[in-house]
Structures are given as C-alpha cells and as structure tokens.
Structure 1
Amino acid sequence: MNPVFERFRLLASLAMHDLWHDRKVSMCIAAALVAVIAPLLLLFGLKFGVVSQLQSELLNDPRNLEIRMISSGRYDAEWLEQLRSQPEVGFAIGMTRSLNTQADLVQDSRHFVDNAEIIPTAEGDPLLASLSLSQPLEGLDVVLSESAARRLNVEVGDQLSLFVSRRLNSRAERGRQSVVVKGVLPAENFPRPAAFVALPLLISLEDFRDGYRIDAFGITTGKVRGEVGEELAENARGEKETQFARARLYAADTDQVGKLEQWLNAQHIDTSSRLADIENVNAINHVLGLVFGVIASTALVGCLASMLGAFLANIDRKRKDLAVLRLLGFDRPAVAGYIVLQASTLTLIAYGVGLILYKLGSEVFNQALAMSSTTGSVVCRITFLHGVIALLLALLVALVVAVVGMLRAFSIEPAESLREL
C-alpha cells in the first residue's frame, strides 16, 4: 500500500481518536461555531429572501421597465433608430398623437368598448412576452387586454369591429375595420381596456383622422396620399415616412432605467418612470447588505477569537502528547496536518449542525411570514451556492485558527517529553 496514504491514515486516526477522547472540549469548540453559523445562515436567508422577492416583483412586472415620454414632439425614423441603438433600450416603437391612439371596439350592440386605447406593438414587446405568440402581430391581428376582452365577450380567434370617427368638410364619418383577436393580455400586465396592434394599423388611424382616404376603412372620401390600394398595409404610410409624437419605450433591465432617462432628459425630453421604486429596492438591498455585513463580521471575529483561545489552550494542555509525537518521528508537516484535520473536522460537524438548525428555523420563519398579509410570499432561503460559500468561509476561519495553532505547536520540542520522565 502507498506509504504516504498509510501515513495520512495513521495521522487522521490519531486526530479523530484525540477529538473523541477530549469530546467535551471538542463539543464546546463545535458549539461555539454552531452559535455563529446557524444565526448567520438564518439572517442571510431572510435578507436574500426579502431582496430577491422585491427584485422578482420588479422584473416580473414589465411596467417597471417602461419610460413614458410626457410631452409630444416630432420624431422621425432616424431618431427612432438612434433610440433603439442605445444599449440601455430593451424595446422601442413609435407612437402617434394621443388623440389618434383611441378607437371604438364593437362585438355587437351589447358588447362594445368606447375609446379603447390602441397601442402599437412589435416583436420583443415586454408586455406581450407572457403570451408566447407564435408570430408577431401583423395586418389586422390584435391582442386585447383582459378588461377589454371581458367587456366585448370575445376569445382568441374571434373577430370584432374597430371603428374610428372623424369630421371632414363639416361631415361626420365613421370608418370600420374587422380585426382578429390573437391573444388576451392578463389584467396584471395591463388593467385598462386596450387593443395592441401592428404599427401600420395605428398609422392608418392617424391618417384617417388627418383627412386622408383609407379605403380599408370603407370610406372613399379624403385626400389621396400617392397611390392608394385596397389593402390596409398599402393604405398605411410606412414607418420611415411617419413623424411620431413620442415613443413607447422599455429599458433592457431595471439597472438601465435611470441611464435611459438621463439620455432622454439630455435631449430635453420630459419623462416619467418607476425609477423611485427601483431605487427603493436597491436601497433596501444596500441597507440589508450593510446590516448583514456588520453582524457577520462581528460574529466571525468573535468566533475566531473563541476558537483561537480554545485551540491554543488545548495545544498547551497537550504539549506532552505533541512532544511524544515529535519524538516518535512526526515532523512539522505531520503536526500541521494533525491540527488542520482536527480544526476542519470540528468545522464540518458544526456546519452540518448549523445547517440543520437553519432548516428548522427557516421553516418557522416561512410559516409565520406566510400567515401575515403584510409579508405575503417573502421567504427565508439560501441557494446551493450560498451554502457552499458559507462552508468555505467556515473552513477559512478554521484554517486561520489551525495556522496559529501550528505556530504554537512548532515551538514544542521532542525533548520536552523526556523531561517529564
């Protein structure tokens, strides 16, 4: 058998037998570690649970990524492309004037929605991400908000009529276009009655109200913009020819909301967003991280001092035994391994007990918090990675203690065992 392995096995056996022989002292050292590990795991679990819950709520609600352009302007396709090229932008699409983002939706005489919001959408729209549409909306496809679908009494695949009104040459006109429901957006994503449509349809609504002839709406009066065909896509101006009043804009993530607002404000564009809510969550994360860091540092220093004192006292108490080992041929590396094995074993035992106590404590916290309406789904939890990091930190403390113990043990000479004879 490998002599190195045999030497290590003998060393490990001596170290474990020594710990068991002095099990009362070993238990005291391990208990000191448990008293630090278990509360720190619980404290970090609560901190991580609270912050991750708040961050999850921010990320799961795409409205937190939205930046609203308050004032209207005239923005062309070149400016819109410049906006989309910004690394902070997750989604951007042009919007027509506010008056032209409304229309009547009608299923029958009893089911209709007056002045519903007509919102342009395209591939990558954060609000529609939960629907998992097979393909982006185009032509006469629409996605209704839950409140609009409920009032219209329609489901996916149903047809309904979109009506748009204007006054041309002192005469009231009302255009009509049939559209197909491709999806229904949950109320938590958009609570108001609305229809999400492809951009060309929204541009057609604006053109119609501006007095242009849009054959697809069943109205043959109005100014002609170039050659007008029968299809809606041909009637609508292209995006490159449109001057938009504003943009419907979403940041790539919560960290980019502030930067994107600054970019827009630098162009004298007034904006509004939920940046204050995002900053509140970041502030909570910072404060809880600071509190945990101070408590953890204090606890680790206290644990280090306690273990250090116990180990040094134990080494002084066993000076004769260590001297005998040196006399029997155990060199300094062997003595160092002996001490490291003991410190690591006690740390692993303490960590295991601390993990069990954390599990029990977290179950108590989770049940108590679940019963409270103010805390709701906040949970005390740590991930596997957090557990590994905590173990490595505990072993690092044990290594520091073992190093100091080694320096004390190295000063013990083999001759000390002979003086006791």
Structure 2
Amino acid sequence: MIFTLAFKSLWFEKLVSFCIFASLCSVIAPLMFLFSLKYGIISTLEHDLKSSPLKLEIKMMTGYKLDENFINQVKNDSKVQFCLPLTRSLSATADINYKGKIKTSLSALPTESGDPIAKASNLDGVLKENEAYLSQTLCDDLKIKTGDTFLLVISRIVDSKRQNSVVEFTLKGIIKKEYQSINTIYVNYNTMLYMEDFRDGYEPPVFSNGSNLNHERKYFAKLRLYVKTLDDVEPMAAFFRERNYQIKACINEIEELK
C-alpha cells in the first residue's frame, strides 16, 4: 500500500520528480567518477611501484673503497633483501661474439639465488662460472636464444701487449627489457671477480689456468643492493647519505604516491 501511494505520488508530480532525480545524478555521478579515477590512478601507481624491483634498488653512483665489515653491515640489515659487492666498473666489462656478431664493452653484473631482477624475469639467479644471462635487448640484437653458446672475451695489457681471454659461455636465460634496458651480461659472482683478477695480472680460473689467484682482495667499489619494501627505500638511502655516499633511489616517486 505504501509503495503504491509513493509511486502514484511520484507519477502525479513526474516532472518535479524527474528534475529532482536529474539534479541528484548530476551531483553524484561526477563525484563517483572523480573518486574512482583518483583511487584508480593511485592503485595503478602503487601497483607499478611495488611490482618493479627497480624501484627497490639503491644504486651507488661512484666507486668507493668498501671493506668487508661495511658490506656485512649492509647485508645483515633487516631492510635489505639482496646485496652483492661489485668490482670496479671498468673491470666488469666484456665483449661478446656470437656467430660472428660482436658486441663490445658490455657491462657485467653478478647474480645469485634471490636476485630480484632474475626472479622478475622468471629465472632463479643460479649460474655456473661459465653460464650467463643476457638482457633482452642484447639477445634481440644478436638473435640468440636460451641454450645457445657464445664467446665472452676480456682483454688486458701485459708488457705493452694486448692479451685476450676467449671463453665459451652458455646462455641460461634472458632478463626482460623492462628490468634491464641496456645491453648487459649477468654472470656468476665468482666469474665477475675473475674478470677483475685477470685484468689485474692474476691467472684466475675461467679466464686463465688458475695458477695465480688473488688472495689479497680487501675492498669493493660498489654494491648491488635491493631493499624489501617501498617503505625501506628512504631509511636505507639515508643510511648511505649519512656516510657521504652518492646514491640514486626512487624516493621522489614513492613520496608522491604517499
């Protein structure tokens, strides 16, 4: 009975009812659109930040003398999910020869189990000393695929003569281009150390006969470092800045989101 009378009342004054209904829609609809747009954009930004391991990286911009105590302090920090020491940048370069196609002066990075970039590319980060991952852009240039072998070449000067070490490597996986935009080689951590040792005049495994090893390594130049969450970026960046290390991190993007 009540609903019937209400409907008849609305129908009797249908023009007024329509105007009231239209006015409510004209107010509520834009508000609903604005709120959905606002929170949709925020959710998208939050997802993009959280889904990319690049946003969790603390990158050291120049080379330093980092000793074992400092490196262990960083590794044991509860905010850190992945940390590997890096050698001098010039030492961690190599050339690649694949079926006569040559790429020179490529940067090499170490990887191991737990590497967030490898995990994002559906790889486990576990490599033998003569295995490597290559960035997708590099693979596209070389037309190389997982399972193929290629020649990795590093050089040094001895008695004013150039010496090359040419080693066959196997491609174990490809790093997606959204996580590594430049031509890069990912190698076993020991392999990266051997690259520097070879250039420093030692005779390490992989690139030489292993007859003269480097037992005097005390310092590293940088760290390859990723924190656990977006909230850990700022405090970890502050940790380095307090010690006068020049670093790069996605702090502004995270603050804008917050």
TM category, shorter: 0.7 to 0.9
Partner of 1:155: 145
Match of 1:369 in 2: none
Per the alignment, do residues 214 and 84 of structure 1 end up closer, same or farther by CA in structure 2, a change over 3 Å counting? closer
Aligned partner (choices 272, 278, 285) of residue 254 of structure 2 = 278
Question: Is the aligned partner of 1:257 residue 2:247?
Answer: no
Structure-2 separation of matches of 1:265 and 1:201: 30
Residue aligning to 1:196: 186
Structure 2 match to 1:183: 173
Cross-structure match for 2:203: 213
Deviation at 1:215, TM superposition (A): 4.6
Letter in 1 for 2:75: R
SS in structure 1 of the partner of residue 235 of structure 2: helix
Please tell me the residue identity of whatever aligns with 1:21: L
**Identity rate of aligned residues, in percent?**
27
Tell me if structure 2 keeps the 8 A contact 1:175–1:219.
no
How far the C-alpha of 1:181 sits from its partner, in A, is: 0.5
Match of 1:375 in 2: none
User: Does 1:128 find its partner at 2:118?
Assistant: yes
Aligned match of 1:21: 5
114, 133, 140: which is aligned to 2:104?
114
Per-residue CA deviation, residues 49-82 of structure 1 (Å, 9 max, x unaligned), is 1111222222333222222112322223332222
Partner amino acid for 2:248?
S
What is aligned with 1:49?
A: 40
- Whether contact under 8 Å (2:133, 2:174) holds in the other structure is yes
Tell me the alpha carbon deviations over residues 238-288 of structure 1, each in whole angstroms, 9 at most, x when there is no partner. Answer: xxx552111011222222211110011112211112222332333xxxxxx
Amino acid at match of 2:192: L
Retained in 2: the 8 A contact 1:112–1:151?
no
**Residue from 80, 84, 96 that aligns with 1:105:** 96
> Take 1:135 and 1:61, find their aligned partners in 2: how far apart are those partners?
17
Q: In 2, distance between residues paired with 1:218 and 1:150?
A: 30
Structure 1 residues 148, 71: CA separation in 2 closer, same or farther (over 3 Å shift)?
Answer: same
Distance 2:125 2:247 in 1: 31
1:73-121, Cα deviation, whole Å (9 max, x unpaired): 2223332222122232232111101111111111132x12101110111
Query: 1:58 aligned to 2:49?
Result: yes
Deviations 1:372-417 (A, max 9, x none): xxxxxxxxxxxxxxxxxxxxxxxxxxxxxxxxxxxxxxxxxxxxxx
Superposed displacement of residue 224, structure 1 = 4.6
Q: Would the alpha carbon gap of residues 66 and 225 (structure 1) be closer, same or farther in structure 2, given more than 3 Å must change? A: closer
**Which of 63, 66, 72 is 1:72 aligned to?**
63
For the pair shown, the structure with the greater C-alpha radius of gyration is 1
Partner AA of 1:247 in structure 2: L
1:93–1:249 Cα contact (<8 Å) kept: yes
Unaligned runs of 5+ in 2: 11-16
Q: Which protein has the bigger strand share?
A: 2
The equivalent residue for 1:378 is none
TM-score, normalised to structure 2, is 0.84
TM-score, scaled relative to structure 1: 0.54
Find the counterpart in structure 2 of residue 268 from structure 1.
Answer: 244
Within 5 Å, give how 1:133-148 maps onto structure 2.
Answer: 133=123, 136-148=126-138
Match of 1:83 in 2: 74
Distance 1:33 1:215 in 2: 77
Superposition deviation, residue 35 in structure 1: 6.8
Q: Which residue of 2 aligns with 1:365?
A: none
Q: Which amino acid aligns with 2:74?
A: L
Change (3 A) 1:225 1:185: closer
Structure ranking higher in helix proportion: 1
Q: In the aligned structure 1, how far is the partner of 2:214 from the partner of 2:75?
A: 28
2:179 & 2:198 partners in 1: Cα distance? 30
What amino acid does structure 2 have at the position aligned with 1:44?
Answer: F
Root-mean-square deviation over aligned CA pairs: 2.7
Tell me the CA shift for residue 135 of structure 1.
6.0
**Counterpart-to-counterpart distance in 2, 1:196 and 1:73:** 22
Structure 1's 203 and 224: CA in aligned 2 closer, same or farther, altered over 3 A?
A: closer
Moved more, 175-184 or 251-260: 251-260
